[in-house]
Chains A and B, each alone.
Chain A
Amino acid sequence: DAGVIQSPRHEVTEMGQEVTLRCKPISGHDYLFWYRQTMMRGLELLIYFNNNVPIDDSGMPEDRFSAKMPNASFSTLKIQPSEPRDSAVYFCASSFIAGGPSEQFFGPGTRLTVL
């Protein structure tokens, strides 16, 4: 397996533009997580899915952020409109189960810069 795949790896956009980040989890994993990493806040859980259904989106910063998982092998995180404070590295991770002793497998991340 190629591991968790994220695209693009880098994204530079201007304030007000729509940004879409993509993730392909490891095949067979039932859980998918979106994280944001910044120097100020560290690693934050934004939302996670179980069997394509969003379970907890309490970490999503505001209505400008939305996430979907139309099938077991694809998820998107969308920011519309984007703002400079959204600049961060966004990670997608997947696992067999949530919580407990289950390891999460992380993708390489998307570095987003909003000018």
Chain B
Amino acid sequence: AQKVTQAQTEISVVEKEDVTLDCVYETRDTTYYLFWYKQPPSGELVFLIRRNSFDEQNEISGRYSWNFQKSTSSFNFTITASQVVDSAVYFCALSGDFGNEKLTFGTGTRLTIIP
């Protein structure tokens, strides 16, 4: 069985501060894929990033960066110099290989950026 844990239910930071959202996962698959999605107040899930289990390189995209560590089964997401538009619920998710394509989501972290 697959499981994703996002221990932080809610986080509030002042605008321009950095913030890290934690994600810990469990899987028995040797090949798996990790995702982050953003859900703004409008409700639509917006894809942010996908990571393969065999690629542990960290990734940076503008103000966003992701730290994947297989040793601790973690896939954390950092927003640098946060902005009000970053306010949303963020979900970490996990899928397996053929036969296990479904996404298993964490419970989400509600991020509020205070102007």
Task: Tell me, yes or no, whether A binds B.
Answer: no
Give B contacts to A, CB under 8 Å. Answer: none
